[in-house]
Chains A and B, each alone.
Chain A
């Protein structure tokens, strides 16, 4: 396996600018080279959002700043941004150039913060990590430098939780996924800081982060660094549900784990779960005969080229709720080595009686070679990205694009989490499969 990456599926540390764009009325300010923000915007997401894309204030680091340092330039760009861009929260993010020349960005930003400006910073030089990891860096920076201003003197709210699940824009379905997670948690009687997207209240939620009674991580590894940080800082306990909950079994399991941790009305939670399961399985039951009887072939194996949260969540769903079995599973999100064993362990128990193997690589070109050489004896469903279009065609496999680059889909609020997401996923899989017939 090589050190290099063909067919990239994530961005660099600065890619977390998209997490800021996903906060309602949040504005990134990048202290980076002239092309960084626009490249990231072009890769992650379809559209500018409120203050993303070409709107992003940027110092456009030039040779002058490389030689003399960029702190003065940053100061004037921040001053301009505060006047020109109408935002509730400004997040200054550094790029490679600033981090290599060693600008003291903290000093520049703290001058503004001390005047009460809602502004924070994080060091996100591209080489430091990928954007899955830097999502945590940026969220923790906002917590420490912004949310914390609102912590003193406020009591814990027993019905309030913070959720850390999808990485906005890196998960192209983040908006829909978060919307459904919020819906089901509200269904069992909670109030939810979902923090990103249209279903969030924006900075008001970020201000209430310290008051939450519980932090909920629904992701394989991204977000646990935030929850651990909040536990240390505010003593807030957390649960780690190590994948995206998709469909009837896993969404109910997810909700019951939350119920165990909080003093909720169990009757209300049970009633909600019961109603949702009944609805979900009514649909599945209604279509089961079609799935069993369709005589011209539907996918029977699935391959993944996705992040760990999706891969595990999809594997559990496809095996247990649709009877599609694991083929070659690849996780492409740069899962840190220390976290890989936990992911493997989840897949060893993909069902009560089945184990699945998984490999970790960010090199899509290499992964495609492996899948290609495996052939397509059982009609396969490839769960991947736009890069997989030719691979799927060569193998006569069905392709469902779930990761970036999405290229061939336009995504608004479609999501695959929860009960609703499970139904959507069934529709989409068989929609693609049926569409292959003339």
Chain B
């Protein structure tokens, strides 16, 4: 059964829709096998540290639609991410030669009395105020734990204001308490876009959707050579542009953890084929991905030519990097599909992945296609990873594991994790741009940065010498999975 239902105001959370989990300790191979054999059983932690929530991830995709405004229906603390995303937005403007503007983000400032009497009026007033100030082409309304529990009818308010203002006012349901997988917020944002902004296709053009964050435009040369044009969505799109993503020739996802829902919705509702191969990381992964792209875009011969050219260009350099990296160990912590991609990439470089702490696991994506399983691809192509931990950012587990594993390098793909590598004196790398490691050139890019990081160890060595730790000696001597219970209730995080 399809997981895409655009008639419903809300998208189901990942736990229910995809059977995703946040707690696992074991080997990657076992996880892949179990994922494809039936439903996964989640493990809960009796002790936990703060994570992230859906509302932040929903905002991250909605707040950089250039001619839209966002209203966050929440107490003011939920708007703590406005400033950070505004900075991301502004840096992106610089990179794209756009004039500097602040994002237009509003918060309804829910107060105590509103939790008793409801805050629907506050929401309506804020949406009108946002319209008056900004005259946007759409307004997204993101919800919060507070608005959800007090039971405001946000959908109704949004629909009424759409009529009144004559622009789409779109409710995006992303209450933090509903899911322990914060990437559910991506699905919420895409659901909002898919059900209210995307129009039925009038024609099938030569544009290709790239579902990404705000990364570099690495797909332009490739797609242009194949006779296509890249549309980087959703950040830095316009409302009008999003209306026509249904007319694209294909959808590429930089990371299926990000784009699973939108990719599936565009294919199932509008017939835009989604590239289902895992993202192009590592040479084998890129070959695989390129060939599917060639199929979907009907450019098989040209793609084979590119593969041959790129192999000739990249493989000799890769050999050199491999010889320098052979036998070095790395530990990785990252989001799901991107984490799997980096695992593939590290092993392509001849490094040994001594373990990974990956934020959640989707046994299948919304396309329901096993070909998209990036972890399965990594295990099949490069072999098993014995110490594979599904762990939504629990730093205490990570610190404990790192102090045992003592890898030569730690790679992190989320804020708040790098410090633990560095405090232990382990050279640590965080790459912000997901596109940086993509494709053939990406392997070389990563290799260079890894070599630079391994070489630049004075800082972490000195920091480790002068660092304190908030973790008890007792904890550092325990099994890292002490608090990870077996077969706990899924709803319990």
Binding site for B on A (CB under 8 A): 2-8, 10-15, 27, 30, 32-44, 48, 50-51, 53-66, 73, 76-77, 79-81, 83-87, 95-97, 100-101, 125-128, 130-131, 362, 365, 369, 386-387, 389-390, 393, 404-405, 407
Contact = CB atoms under 8 A, between A and B. Distances in A.
A100 B149 contact: yes
B145 A61 contact: yes
A35 B55 contact: yes
21 contacts: A3-B108, A4-B106, A4-B122, A4-B125, A34-B182, A35-B52, A38-B50, A42-B81, A43-B81, A43-B83, A44-B80, A58-B50, A60-B50, A66-B149, A86-B472, A100-B115, A100-B150, A126-B74, A126-B110, A127-B115, A386-B83
A126 B146 contact: yes
Nearest to A390: B100
Interface string B384-398: 000000000101100
A6 B106 contact: yes
B492 to A, nearest CB: 5
A77 B470 contact: no
A15 B78 CA distance: 10
B93 to A, nearest CB: 11
B129 A2 contact: yes
Interface in B88-115: 100-102, 104-112, 114-115
Given A39-B77, A64-B492, A73-B492, A80 B50 contact: no
B145 A33 contact: yes
Contacts of B491: 62-64
Given A34-B51, A76-B46, A62 B492 contact: yes
A34 B177 contact: yes
Nearest to A44: B80
Given A34-B180, A54-B395, A56-B50, 5 more contacts: A34-B176, A48-B419, A53-B416, A76-B47, A86-B473
A91 B111 CA distance: 23
Contacts of B489: 64
Contact of B83 (A35, A62, A362, A387): A387
Contacts of B107: 4-6, 8
Contact of B51 (A58, A63, A80): A58
- 6 A-B pairs closest in CB distance: A80-B47, A35-B53, A12-B77, A54-B416, A405-B83, A126-B75
B84 A43 contact: yes
B43 to A, nearest CB: 14
B256 interface: no
A59 B49 CA distance: 7
B416 A48 contact: yes
A294 to B, nearest CB: 29
A101 B149 contact: yes
B49 A57 contact: yes
B79 interface: yes
A55 B149 contact: no
B104 A86 contact: no
A66 B106 CA distance: 27
Given A62-B177, A63-B177, A407-B83, A33 B76 contact: no
A130 B47 contact: no
Interface residues of B, number: 75
A125 B177 CA distance: 14
Contacts of B108: 3-4
A33 B177 CA distance: 6
Given A61-B177, A387-B83, A84 B396 contact: yes
A37 B49 CA distance: 9
A39 B50 CA distance: 10
A95 B53 CA distance: 14
A6 B104 contact: yes
B475 A83 contact: yes
Interface string B166-180: 000000000011101
Contacts of A48: 416, 419
B474 interface: yes
Given A60-B180, A83-B474, A34 B105 contact: no
B190 to A, nearest CB: 19
B239 to A, nearest CB: 20
Contacts of A33: 53, 145, 176-177
B94 to A, nearest CB: 12
Nearest to A17: B50
Most chain A Cβ neighbours within 10 Å, of B46, B83, B182:
B83
Contacts of A365: 104, 106, 133
A15 B471 contact: no
B481 interface: no
A23 B229 CA distance: 54
A86 B469 contact: yes
B289 interface: no
Contacts of B396: 55, 84
A51 B419 CA distance: 12
A80 B472 CA distance: 11
B464 to A, nearest CB: 16
Given A4-B109, A55-B470, A84-B471, A60 B77 contact: no
B42 to A, nearest CB: 12
Contacts of A44: 80
Contact of B493 (A2, A60, A66): A60
A407 B87 contact: yes
A81 B112 CA distance: 30
B80 A60 contact: no
B216 interface: no
Contact of A127 (B52, B75, B80): B75
B172 to A, nearest CB: 15
B483 interface: yes
B48 interface: yes
B392 to A, nearest CB: 8
B125 A2 contact: yes
A10 B109 contact: no
Given A57-B47, A85-B470, A40 B180 contact: no
